[in-house]
């Protein structure tokens, strides 16, 4: 009877260890792949919110669009546009914008210049 209880417990423990290791491995792989990424994105990666839905547990069931693309398309996720804002994920990392937030974009220079000119009219 005791063995019947211990075997499932051991199996669950191994699954938990394996999942935690994989999660940490993905995070560390991202940080290693983007050593010059801005501090905002690196902090978001370290806090798991770059790839997971904020406020949720950081497991495979709570990935955001970017996290899902990162996890399932390891070799091509940089060329993908996870948030549909017409900027690919790799460029968003270079620009320090969030690849899962379509509102997170580099400001349009034309719009910015128009805003500055409007102050002096």
CA distance 21 to 80: 26
Minimum CB distance to Ca ion smaller for 18 or for 108: 108
Nearest-approach distance from CB 111 to Ca ion, in angstroms: 16
Spatial distance between the Cα atoms of 4 and 114, rounded to a whole number of angstroms: 72
Residue 23 burial by Cβ neighbours in a 10 Å radius (0-12, 13-18, 19+): middle
Q: Which 3 state secondary structure label does DSSP give 39? A: helix
Closest CB 48 distance from Ca ion, rounded Å: 18
| Residue 107 DSSP one-character state | P
34 within 8 A of 42, measured Cβ to Cβ:
yes
The residue among 23 and 94 lying less far from Ca ion, judged by its C-beta, is 94
Q: Are 58 and 48 in contact (CB under 8 A)?
A: yes
We find the least distance from the C-beta atom of residue 67 to Ca ion, in angstroms, to be 14
Stretch that binds Ca ion, among 9-17, 22-30, 57-65, 73-81 (CB under 5 A): 73-81
Distance of closest approach, residue 1 Cβ to Ca ion, in angstroms: 55
Q: Which of residues 75-114 bind Ca ion (CB under 5 A)?
A: 81, 83, 85, 87, 97, 101, 104
Which positions lie near Ca ion, rule CB under 5 A?
A: 81, 83, 85, 87, 97, 101, 104
């Amino acid at each position: 009877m005791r063995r019947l209880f211990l075997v499932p417990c051991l199996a669950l423990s191994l699954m938990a260890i394996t999942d935690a290791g994989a999660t940490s491995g993905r995070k560390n792989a991202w940080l290693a792949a983007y050593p010059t990424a801005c501090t905002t994105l690196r902090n978001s990666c370290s806090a798991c919110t770059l790839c997971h839905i904020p406020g949720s547990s950081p497991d495979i069931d709570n990935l955001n669009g970017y996290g899902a693309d990162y996890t399932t398309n390891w070799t091509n996720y940089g060329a993908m546009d996870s948030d549909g804002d017409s900027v690919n994920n790799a460029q968003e990392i270079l620009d320090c914008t969030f690849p899962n937030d379509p509102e997170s974009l580099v400001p349009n220079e034309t719009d910015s210049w128009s805003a500055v000119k409007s102050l002096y009219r």
